Homo-oligomer: A and B are copies of this chain.
Amino acid sequence: MKLITDLYLGDCRNELKKVPDNSIDLIVTSPPYADQRKSTYGGVSVSEYVQWFLPISKELFRVLKPTGTFILNIKEKVVDGERSTYVMELILGMRKQGWFWTEEFIWHKKNCYPGKWSNRFRDAWERLLQFNKDKKFNMYQDAVKVPIGDWAKNRLKNLSETDKKRDNAKNGSGFGKNISNWVGKDTVYPTNVVYLSTECNNKNHSAAFPRELPEWFIRLFTQENDTVLDPFMGSGTTIEVANRMKRNSVGIEIVPEYYETVRQQFSLTEYYLMDSAIEDGELESTGCYRVC
């Protein structure tokens, strides 16, 4: 089967209208946060944020299949010494549109932004809000089970000396005790906390979030040949991961430079698929992209 990637250049408030009803299995996106990324996106102000986003979420509701899922990566900024409330208002507004707020995953960032202030600590987490159209939705939990052997191995390997010290400082909560609970099991389901690093690219390629994030949700909520949408494509991380995982994809981007970069990458799609065919030791059908 041929994989298809549809790329749209423009404001998703307009471009989404071209996407058919009930055609998307998973939306994973990280919209520009309020007042952030001014240089590239123009920066939506805190006071306007909810009213700016609600028409978009309404369109997303239309294009998502009833069995599909919408994952929204967002975090409120500090305004005048206080956390803003626009994310809460957004959730309440989306529920009025018919969305179910099924779950809130947390992205616990390993390497958060540095800084020091007298009234707060560094912010090490972001929200990953899960919305659904229906209470019955597709979820493939087994696809994200963690092999316990690897888990324990990596966990122990990555457990630094200071981590152990920090652990031991709190008497009783022995890490070893936890590990012993897992002996004998071979796979385990994850929790609703995702513990990942932000990508710190030493290269030119600037990614909004680590590729493991979309990868995890694509595995969890889609199967091969399903369709993934990112209405704020940016440098295309979500779309590229979806393509590599043999999912169809739809990407929308308002900034011409980003759009063009992604488009050129997809000109090389066949090479990508050849690559993965070689890696997987099997031959793959090729994919194609369409400029929409």
Contact = CB atoms under 8 A, between A and B. Distances in A.
Contacts of A95: 85
Interface of A: 80-83, 85, 88, 91-92, 95, 100-104, 106, 108, 110-112, 114, 116, 118-125, 135, 137, 139, 141, 146-150, 160-162, 165-166, 170, 172-173, 175, 178, 189-193, 195-197, 199, 210, 212
Contacts of A191: 112, 121-124
A72 to B, nearest CB: 13
Number of copies: 2
24 contacts: A80-B135, A83-B101, A85-B92, A88-B91, A102-B120, A106-B106, A106-B108, A110-B178, A118-B139, A119-B135, A119-B137, A119-B139, A120-B192, A121-B141, A121-B190, A121-B191, A122-B192, A124-B191, A125-B193, A146-B166, A147-B166, A150-B160, A150-B162, A173-B197
B161 A212 contact: no
Given A121-B141, A125-B106, A189-B121, A178 B111 contact: yes
Contact of A170 (B100, B124, B135, B197): B197
Q: Nearest 9 A-B pairs (CB), nearest first?
A: A124-B191, A173-B197, A88-B88, A150-B160, A81-B135, A147-B162, A124-B193, A122-B191, A82-B100
Contact of A83 (B102, B149, B175, B196): B102
Nearest to A173: B197
Nearest to A115: B175
A128 to B, nearest CB: 11
A172 B173 CA distance: 42
Contacts of A195: 108
Contacts of A119: 102, 135, 137, 139
A5 to B, nearest CB: 24
Nearest to A186: B162
A17 to B, nearest CB: 28
A95 B91 CA distance: 18
Nearest to A135: B81
Contacts of A80: 135
A178 B112 CA distance: 11
Contacts of A123: 191-192
Given A88-B91, A92-B85, A135-B80, A147 B122 contact: no
